[in-house]
Amino acid sequence: MSNSGSNLDRLRRANLATVLGIVHRSRSVSRAQITAETGLYRSTVGALVTELAALGFVIEGEPEATNRVGRPSPLVTPAPGVVAIAVNPEVDAVTLGVVGLGASVEHRVRHPVESPVTPEQTVRIVRDLLDALRPGPLAGRRVAGIGIAVPGLVRTADGLVRLAPHLGWRDAPLTRLFEEELGLPTVADNDASLGALAEHLFGVGRGVDDLVYLNGGASGIGGGVIADGRPLRGAGGYAGEFGHNRPAVQDRTSERGALEDEVSRARLLAAAALAVADEPTLARALLGATDQSVRDELARQRRVLATALSNAANVLNPSLIVLGGFLATLLASDPVGLAGLVADQTLPPAAEGLRLRPAALGEDRLLIGAAELVFAPVIADPATLQRTAS
C-alpha cells in the first residue's frame, strides 16, 4: 500500500535492471547495442555499465571485430563472480547446478538416491554438495541464492510445497528449511513452470512472449505458461497443471480420464515392450517401430494430446507450444499429423499463428529455470546483493 510511485532512486534501479537484464539474456552485447536497445543516451549507458561493473555483475571486454566504420564498442558480458545454486530433487536423485548470469551452467552434480528424499535430507545433501564445491567452482564467488525446481505444487509466495506426490511431500516448508540451514535466500517453483521460463529465455522460445510448455516424464505431465513475456503463476502459483485436465477423449482408457492418464510414458513403454528405458532409448524404439500396435498407441496418444493442446490454444492463444520429454517423441512421431489435429480443434485465427516445437535445452533446462528464479530479484535491483563473498 505504499510503493506504486516512482522516484529518482527507482528510475536508476530500473535502468540498471534493464541493462543487466539485456546482458543476462544476450550473454554478450556491445555498449552501442545496449544504447540502441534501451534508447538511453551513450553517456547514461556508460555510467550504468560502469556501475554494474563496479558492483561485480558485468565485465567490459575487448570490442568484437566488426567490419564497420566507427569506433569499436566494448563488449559487455556477465561477470563470472555471481552464481546461483539450482537444485532439482527427483525420485531417484538430487541434481545441483552452479549457474552464472547468462544462464551458463558451470557445474552440475547428480546425487543419486535409493528412495525419495525428504525435504530435510534434501537440505543435507545440498549442504554437503556445496561444501565439496566451495574450494572449487564456488571459490571467490558470490552466491546470489538457491533456486529449487520441485516436481509438485509450490505456493510461490513463501515456497511451501503443497503437494509433491512422487516425492511424498505435503505442505513442506522447503525454502524456510533451506534458509534456516544454509543461510542463503531460497526460492522454489514447480519444475515445469521453470522449464517454460528457461525455454522462453534461452531455448526454442527465445523472443516468443506467449508460449505453452508441456513436459512428459515418468511421473506424469507437467506444464508451464509464459503470457505476455512473463510466467503465468496464478493466484497461488499452481498454474500450468495441464496434466490433470480432462480433455474430451474418443476412446477413454482410464477411469479418471485426465490427460496424464491417457497420454503416459508407461503406456508407451508397454506398447514398445520395454521395462525401463531412458528417454533416447524409448524415442528410438518408438520412432523406429513398424509394429502396428505401437503405431496405434502413438496415434491414440497424439489424438488425446491434440485435444488438450487445442483447449490450451483456445484459452491462451500462444504462438508456440513447446513439448519436452516423451511428448517431444509424440510430436516427432508425426509432426504434421499432430499439428493438423490441433489446428482442427482450434479456432482458425488462433491456429494460424501457432507452431509446435520440441524443447531445446536438454538436461540443463530445469537448472537454468531455477537459477532464473534466483537471478530475477537480483537483476531487478542489482545494488541490493551484498558484495560479501560466499
Maximal C-alpha separation, the chain: 69
388 binds DNA (CB under 7 A): no
Closer residue to DNA in complex, CB, 32/113: 32
Please check whether residue 387 is in contact with residue 346, taking contact to mean a CB–CB distance below 8 angstroms.
Answer: no
Q: Which helix (H) or strand (E) holds 83?
A: strand 82-89
7 binds its own copies (CB under 8 A): yes
Question: Which residue type does 214 have?
Answer: L
229 binds, among its own copies, DNA, none (CB under 5 to 8 A by kind): none
Which of 27, 55, 218, 238 touches its own copies by CB under 8 A? 238
Closest CA to 35 of 67, 74, 9: 74
Q: How far apart are CA 19 and CA 102, in angstroms?
A: 13
6 binds its own copies (CB under 8 A): yes
Radius of gyration of the chain (CA): 22
Closest CA to 187 of 374, 372, 368: 374
- What cell numbers appear for 157 in the block? 509466495
For residue 102, the tally of other CB atoms under 10 A from its CB is 18
Which of 140, 348, 387, 388 touches its own copies by CB under 8 A? 348
Please check whether residue 212 is in contact with residue 316, taking contact to mean a CB–CB distance below 8 angstroms.
Answer: yes
Q: How far apart are CA 151 and CA 154, in angstroms?
A: 9
Which of 21, 27, 32, 289 touches DNA by CB under 7 A? 32
Binding piece for its own copies, criterion CB under 8 A, among 8-16, 55-63, 83-91, 105-113:
8-16
Binders of its own copies in range 278-337 (CB under 8 A)? 307, 310-312, 314-319
Binders of its own copies in range 146-165 (CB under 8 A)? 153, 155, 162-163
Closer residue to DNA in complex, CB, 34/101: 34
> How many positions of this chain bind DNA (CB under 7 A)?
33
Backbone angles phi, psi at 195, to 5 degrees: -60, -40
261 binds its own copies (CB under 8 A): no
47 binds DNA (CB under 7 A): yes
Cα three-residue angle 115-118-120, rounded to 5 degrees: 135
Binders of its own copies in range 17-76 (CB under 8 A)? 18, 22, 36-40, 44
Which parts of this chain interact with its own copies (CB under 8 A)? 1-8, 11, 14-15, 18, 22, 36-40, 44, 153, 155, 162-163, 209-210, 223, 225, 227-228, 230, 232-242, 244-249, 252, 257, 307, 310-312, 314-319, 345-350, 352-353
Which parts of this chain interact with DNA (CB under 7 A)? 5-9, 11-12, 15, 30-32, 35, 39-48, 50, 63, 65, 67-74
